[in-house]
Amino acid sequence: MENKLGNPQKTIEIIQKYQFAFQKKFGQNFLIDSRVLDKIIGAAEITDEDLVLEIGPGIGTMTQYLAERARQVVAVEIDKNLIPILNETLGDFQNVVIINEDILKLDIGELTEIYNGGRPIKVVANLPYYITTPIIMGLFESNVPIANITVMVQKEVAERMQAGPGTKDYGALSLAVQYYANPYIVANVPPNCFIPRPNVGSAVIRLTRYEKPPVDVEDSGLMFRLIRASFNQRRKTLQNSLNNSPDLTFTKDQIAGAISALGLPAAVRGEALTLEQFANLSNILCKIKG
């Protein structure tokens, strides 16, 4: 098609035509490498039966690739200055809906119901790095039916999502993501694949949603409070971190007893525990509370 994006020349041409000014507050970096776009589309496993929710379509580069493969694409763009550009670059596609809205304020459950009859959707995004975690966790916690989320994020964040116990990247984000989904880093993406070039490396990560969480936990809210507390002071022992947390009301003896019941040493740190161990710790403390 005549307006096909995915290369620097066409992207610059569109930006100049509309005299578009990049907004730092929206973290705008447009992809200009068709090989990376192909990797994202391949990783998301888009079929002609899928509804794809794209967050932050920018000038519509990835949207075009998605629209060629999906049954329908709903593209949510916060920047109203990009809407006229999207109307041009996506004008040839009858299966794209453009919504000028903040994704964090949108009722994605309602959107899924309207455009996909409540069936699982696929999410694809080149996410603004400053707001990656709220968007991803918001999608998971909303209980919207999602098959997978394939996103471009800061390389460090992708590594944290995939990290395991005992590594420097392992933390609350690792455990939160791994409770909801199986993370897989698809590709690392250097800064020269974007206009403008970001100051950091990027990565594409696919999060395949679990039908049910991989651990049995009676109170997931308590488990996540334990996780956050244990990593808020990650150099301290797990016992001290939990004892110092204002979000927890257990006594020092109750915490020590629960850690001992798990068969863990008193000096263990939170970064050594697996998701399953945090779930078990939460279940033990739940009984004490209950």
Torsion from C-alpha of 125, 126, 131, 132, nearest 10 degrees:
70
pLDDT of residue 24: 78
Amino acid at 60: G
Q: What percentage of the chain has pLDDT greater than the value 90? A: 87
pLDDT tens, position by position, 194-248: 999 999 999 999 999 999 999 999 999 999 999 999 999 878 999 999 999 999 9
Q: What is the mean pLDDT of the chain?
A: 94
pLDDT of residue 2: 52
pLDDT tens, position by position, 151-203: 999 999 999 999 999 999 999 999 999 999 999 999 999 999 999 999 999 99
| CA atoms of 204 and 199, how far apart (whole Å) | 16
Q: Is 1 a residue whose pLDDT tops 70?
A: no
Q: Are strands 181-189 and 202-209 parallel, antiparallel or unpaired?
A: antiparallel
pLDDT of residue 60: 96
User: Domain limits of the chain?
Assistant: 8-209, 220-289
Beta-strand (E) ranges in 22-64? 30-31, 51-55
pLDDT tens, position by position, 86-129: 999 999 999 999 999 999 999 999 999 999 999 999 999 998 88
| CA atoms of 229 and 252, how far apart (whole Å) | 14
* Residue that has been written with the tokens 């409540």 in this structure: 118
Confidence of residue 5 (pLDDT cuts 50, 70, 90): confident
Task: Write down the pTM of the prediction.
Answer: 0.92
- Measured in degrees and rounded to the nearest 5, phi and psi for residue 197 equal -70, 125
Q: Is 290 a residue whose pLDDT tops 60?
A: no
Q: Is 78 a residue whose pLDDT tops 90?
A: yes
Mean pLDDT score, 68-81: 97
pLDDT of residue 3: 57
pLDDT of residue 86: 97
Q: Is 25 a residue whose pLDDT tops 90?
A: no
Residues 150, 40: contact at Cβ < 8 Å? Answer: yes
| CA atoms of 289 and 7, how far apart (whole Å) | 58
pLDDT of residue 172: 95
Residues 93, 66: contact at Cβ < 8 Å? Answer: no
Of the candidate CATH numbers 3.50.50.60, 3.40.50.2000, 3.40.50.150, 3.90.199.10, the domain formed by 8-209 belongs to 3.40.50.150
A 10 A CB-CB count for 43 gives 20
220-289 folds as Helicase, Ruva Protein; domain 3 (1.10.8)
Residues 124, 74: contact at Cβ < 8 Å? Answer: no
